[in-house]
């Protein structure tokens, strides 16, 4: 799944279904401060494009690969047949989609009412959780795009975090140095999003990408 690859959106219900493993995918929606901004992120825990009505009441979105890696693809015809049979997969995908829809709504609200630092911190923790890592490799322009910030906004949102050694921000890389320190500065949105996911996916085992065989596909 190459960086920047567009793999569908709310208007692409007939497309194939994707299960990221070592990559993460941004759900981007039109924003007031930039052409688009991230309203949800999906990674090793989820699915993109499965036939569901969970997204009927959320903003229009497009799914774009945020961090490169690999995943699995399910042809649309097989996914539609699976959804019609109401299988275990369809139940999991529906519940996951509900959690992502809730994340979209809460992220959209967070982007409107919380500080740049809080928005950046929520985005960083959600992204790192899906990567099972302490560092995300991403060029600053792409960070600005996903957060709906200007370059100046990104600099301001990370200034105190860098000064207090909470993060290390280098060109093309953001490393988390002090997770408790970052969590202490966040708004309630990160915890609320995580609680929604835990509630809806309570009995679904997690997968650590570090335990998955590396593939070039």
Asked if residue 211 belongs to a domain, the reply is: no
Query: Is 144 among the domain residues?
Result: yes
For residues 10 and 41, is the Cβ–Cβ distance under 8 A?
no
Residue at 146 is within a domain: yes
pLDDT of residue 214: 34
Is 157 part of a structural domain of the chain?
yes
Cα-Cα end-to-end distance for the chain: 8
Specify the number of domains making up the chain.
1
pLDDT in tens, 156-207: 888 889 999 999 988 888 999 999 999 999 999 999 999 988 888 876 655 4
Residue 214 forms part of a structural domain: no
CA distance 88 to 105: 26
Q: 21 phi and psi, to 5 degrees?
A: -120, -60
pLDDT single digits (tens) 29-80: 865 544 578 889 999 888 888 877 777 766 678 888 988 899 999 888 888 8
Instruction: Give the closest residue to 104 by CA, choosing from 171, 29, 176, 162.
Output: 29
In a domain, 213, yes or no: no
Q: Identify the CATH number of the domain in which residue 35 sits.
A: 1.10.10.10
Contact 43, 25 (CB under 8 A): yes
Phi, psi values for residue 144, rounded to 5°: -60, -40
Domain assignment of residue 209, yes or no: no
The pTM of the full predicted model, rounded to 2 decimals, is 0.81
- The parent domain of residue 133 ranges over 6-204
210 found inside a domain: no
């Amino acid at each position: 799944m190459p960086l920047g690859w567009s793999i569908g959106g709310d208007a692409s219900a007939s497309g194939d279904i994707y299960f990221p493993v070592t990559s993460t995918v941004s759900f981007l929606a039109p924003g007031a401060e930039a052409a688009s901004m991230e309203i949800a992120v999906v990674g090793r825990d989820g699915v993109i494009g499965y036939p569901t009505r969970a997204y009927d009441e959320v903003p229009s979105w497009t799914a774009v690969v945020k961090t490169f890696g690999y995943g699995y693809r399910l042809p649309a015809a097989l996914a539609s047949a699976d959804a019609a049979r109401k299988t275990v997969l369809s139940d999991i995908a529906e519940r996951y989609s509900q959690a992502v829809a809730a994340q979209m709504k809460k992220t959209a609200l967070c982007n409107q009412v919380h500080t740049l630092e809080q928005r950046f911190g929520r985005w960083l923790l959600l992204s790192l959780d899906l990567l099972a890592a302490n560092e995300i490799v991403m060029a600053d322009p792409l960070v600005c795009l996903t957060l709906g910030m200007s370059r100046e906004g990104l600099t301001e949102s990370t200034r105190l975090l860098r000064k207090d050694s909470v993060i290390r921000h280098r060109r093309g890389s953001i490393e988390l140095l002090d997770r408790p320190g970052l969590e202490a500065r966040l708004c309630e949105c990160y915890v609320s999003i995580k609680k929604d996911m835990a509630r809806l996916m309570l009995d679904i085992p997690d997968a650590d990408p570090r335990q998955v065989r590396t593939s070039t596909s």
